Amino acid sequence: MLISVKLYAAILIPAGVLVAVAAVFAVLLAFLGRKLEVKRDEKVVAVESLLSGANCGGCGFAGCSAFAEALANGKADLSSCNATSKVNKDKIAAILGTVNDGEEMSFVVCCSGGNACEDKYDYHGYGDCASMELLAGGRKACPVGCMGAGTCVKHCDHHACNLTDNGYASITDERCTLCGKCSKSCPKGLIKKIPARAKVYVACSNHGKGKEIRSYCKAGCIGCGMCMRTCPEGAITLVDNLAVIDYSKCIGCGACAAKCPSKCIKTRD
């Protein structure tokens, strides 16, 4: 019996000491936590709560927290953030005492050549479009044609970029956070922003002559002007042989896409 009491004492006393020490440290840490707490600016907290939370870095800052702090201190422009909705941007602007004059945007791939565009050579090397670009400007006969090797796919963290069966890249709007990584990574600069409300876009970036483009790509803009003549609002012009849409005039009727002989003007849902 005496041995049992001694055994319990040998176990319980050290355990009790440990619990007491732990309690002291817990109280001390709680006290120090309150004492040393860095109080955040309420404006910064409010702004951060309205940002997308994507932490994509597309704004040029380390994340949404750093961007919110820069906004609150007047060291950043709200338009730098592509991922936050216009509704929330308007709320942020109200908090900051400014006006949000930006428009919601979407990314599109301005090329639909792919398999319809001839290759200069067969590429059997390792890597993606960026690697291919180092070899004679890529495998496509079109100098600005999508090579379809997936550099944009590799850089997209949200699986919004994908390669179509037709051999060129496309973007799924529902998954896109507008971080811009795909646009920055494309060696041909084919991924561009257009207004989210836009119903049509020009899926070609070649400014060459029509006859030349036709010789190697069946889906390139040939600068025929059919879209320009068809548009009821005069929203399309030819700039250096390439159709350009003025979205401030475009009503999204789709007449241009229907008439385009190359079908390089695409409609969006």
pLDDT digits (tens, 9 = 90+) for 185-229: 999 999 999 999 999 999 999 999 999 999 999 999 999 999 999
Does 39 score more than 90 pLDDT? no
pLDDT for 102 equals: 79
Lowest mean pLDDT among 26-35, 167-176, 206-215, 248-257: 26-35
pLDDT for 259 equals: 96
Does 2 score more than 60 pLDDT? no
pLDDT band at 34 (very low <50, low <70, confident <90, very high): low
| Mean pLDDT for all residues in the chain | 89
CB 252: neighbour CB atoms within 10 A?
Answer: 15
Question: Residue 227 class from Cβ within 10 Å (0-12 exposed, 13-18 middle, 19+ buried)?
Answer: buried
pLDDT for 249 equals: 95
pLDDT for 8 equals: 62
Q: Which residues contact 127 (CB under 8 A, 6 or more apart)?
A: 149
The angle at the Cα of 203, spanning 241 to 78, to the nearest 5 degrees, equals: 105
Select from 3.40.50.1000, 3.40.50.1100, 2.60.120.620, 3.30.70.20 the CATH code of 105-267: 3.30.70.20
Whole-structure pTM value: 0.75
pLDDT for 119 equals: 96
How does DSSP classify residue 71? H
Does 3 score more than 60 pLDDT? no
CB distance 109 to 190 below 8 Å: yes
Does 1 score more than 60 pLDDT? no
Can you tell me which residue has the tokens 């949404």?
Answer: 64
pLDDT for 36 equals: 61
Alpha-helix runs per DSSP H in 102-209: 129-133, 151-155, 181-185
31-41 average pLDDT score: 66
pLDDT for 220 equals: 97
Which amino acid, one-letter code, is at 100? N
Pairing of strands 236-239, 200-202: unpaired
28-51 average pLDDT score: 76
Select from 1.10.3720.10, 1.10.10.10, 2.60.120.260, 1.10.15.40 the CATH code of 42-96: 1.10.15.40
Query: Token pair for residue 91?
Result: 């709320």
Tell me the Cα Rg of the chain: 29
CB distance 199 to 245 below 8 Å: no
Pairing of strands 265-267, 200-202: antiparallel
Q: Exposure string (b/e) for 65-94, b if CB count within 10 Å is 16 or more? A: bbbbbbbbeeebebeebbbbeeebbebbbe
Which amino acid, one-letter code, is at 82? N
Does 113 score more than 80 pLDDT? yes
pLDDT for 62 equals: 86
Q: Where in the chain is the domain with CATH 1.10.15.40?
A: 42-96
Q: How many helices (H) and strands (E) does the chain have?
A: 10, 8
Name the phi and psi angles at 18, rounded to 5: -65, -40
pLDDT for 32 equals: 67
244-252 average pLDDT score: 95
- Angstrom distance (rounded) from CA 62 to CA 238: 40
Alpha-helix runs per DSSP H in the chain: 2-36, 42-50, 64-72, 86-96, 129-133, 151-155, 181-185, 210-216, 226-230, 255-259
Does 156 score more than 70 pLDDT? yes
pLDDT for 100 equals: 81
Q: Where in the chain is the domain with CATH 3.30.70.20?
A: 105-267
